[in-house]
Amino acid sequence: MSDIRVGLVGYGTAGAYFHAPLIHATPGLSLAAVVTRNPDRQAEVGSRYGAAAVGDAEELWERCDLVVVASPNKTHVTTAAAALAHGLPVVVDKPLARTAEEGRELVRLAGERGLMLTVFQNRRWDGDFRTVRRLVREGRLGEVLRFESRFERWRPVPKGGWREAGGPEEVGGLLYDLGSHLVDQAVQLLGPVREVYCESDVRREGVASDDDTFIALTHAGGARSHLWASAMAARLGPRFRVLGSKAGFVKHGMDVQEERLRAGMTPDSAGFGDDEEDHWGVLGTEDEREVVRTEAGSYLDFYRGVEAALREGAAPPVDPESAVAVLSVIEAARLSATQRIVVHLS
């Protein structure tokens, strides 16, 4: 059976470090063409993947069987809609869209055409988050009362680029970037959200979008999530602290997969998703504690799921409706931060 030809739109951070290597390592998928106008990047996609470099997404439609949208956030909706209009299934990097309404329109268009639409919420396959989900599923924590989750960095000097320098029209800032992962993980773990409170600030000179954000969610089941995304954390907090009626779990350190992808390690290498032992989390109470080995992270499972959805008709690895639900929470968080109110979701 011939490989599914993949056209990748964008070869910046998301395209070069995440999508291209993951697509290349997934059996049944072949990176056929990449949209990039940068001469160095054009040379790289040819030498590393044997893919054609093209200057515009319009050149992809006849070259591929699947389109992956990893271009700047503001282009996600228009590019995905164009691919769907040409009869092609689509993977969209997070965030799916700027608003929940735009996301719903993409879902409607894909449904009308009978095409797969899914969203690259790869952090569902972080090893640390997989560990938390397993502990919750097994009842090791009892009833989850509070879920604390952080993506914190110490970057007092801005790196530049549209994510930091662009205003709302660029759909930049940490709320849409890391916040998309934080909210998605919280909803996956604890279910729908009924109340949203957010504090969002710009702390660094030359930055136009939020770089220090806190989100508090009240879930329909009564649990609360406290979520942090910051570029101005001089001392990092735990990646996860989960408090339950029977025990708590604390985990420090980031999932290793992004770092290893950036270092050029191939995602199908042995041990690719294995956490360092000194970063394993601790489960227990003040009186008892147990070190818990981190489950292996597996971003490849996302693209394995894409391949299965296209060949076998399986459900997509991420239901796009769940990405729309995340956008509803993010919109509520923006409103909360702007008006300094608690936003109630229906």
Dihedral pair phi/psi, residue 172, rounded to 5°: -100, -170
CB proximity list for 222: less than 8 A, separation 6 or greater: none
Structure tokens at 340: 């300094």
CB proximity list for 59: less than 8 A, separation 6 or greater: 33, 35
Answering whether pTM is above 0.75, one says: yes
Residue 208's Cβ-side half-sphere holds a number of Cα atoms within 13 Å equal to 12
Local structure of residue 154 (DSSP, 8 states): B
Q: Where are the domains of the chain?
A: 4-120, 123-297+328-344
User: Count of residues for the chain?
Assistant: 346
**What CATH number has the domain spanning 4-120?**
3.40.50.720
What's the pLDDT score for residue 181?
98
Closest CA to 187 of 238, 129, 117: 129
Cα–Cα distance measured from residue 319 to residue 92, given in angstroms and rounded to the nearest whole number = 12
Angle between helices 127-137 and 178-190 (to 10 degrees): 20
The DSSP result for 42-108, as a single string, is HHHHHHHH-PEEESSGGGTTTT-SEEEE-S-GGGHHHHHHHHHHTT--EEEESSS-SSHHHHHHHHH
Structure tokens at 46: 């040819």
pLDDT tens track, the chain, 346 positions: 799 999 999 999 999 999 999 999 999 999 999 999 999 999 999 999 999 999 999 999 999 999 999 999 999 999 999 999 999 999 999 999 999 999 999 999 999 999 999 999 999 999 999 999 999 999 999 999 999 999 999 999 998 888 888 777 889 999 999 999 999 999 999 999 999 999 999 999 989 999 999 999 999 999 999 999 999 999 999 999 999 999 999 999 999 999 999 999 999 999 999 999 999 999 999 999 999 999 999 999 999 999 999 999 999 999 999 999 999 999 999 999 999 999 999 7
3-state secondary structure of 126: coil
Dihedral pair phi/psi, residue 24, rounded to 5°: -60, -30
CA distances from 34 to 6, 60, 71 (A): 9, 8, 11
Dihedral pair phi/psi, residue 331, rounded to 5°: -60, -40
Cα–Cα distance measured from residue 21 to residue 43, given in angstroms and rounded to the nearest whole number = 16
Closest CA to 324 of 227, 187, 199: 187
Domain over 123-297+328-344 is classified CATH 3.30.1310.10: no
Closest CA to 237 of 256, 250, 218: 250
Cα–Cα distance measured from residue 139 to residue 133, given in angstroms and rounded to the nearest whole number = 10
Radius of gyration of the chain (CA): 20
Closest CA to 72 of 98, 109, 103: 98
At position 342, the amino acid (one-letter code) is V
What's the pLDDT score for residue 168?
77
Cα–Cα distance measured from residue 124 to residue 138, given in angstroms and rounded to the nearest whole number = 18
What's the pLDDT score for residue 68?
98
At position 284, the amino acid (one-letter code) is G
What's the pLDDT score for residue 235?
97
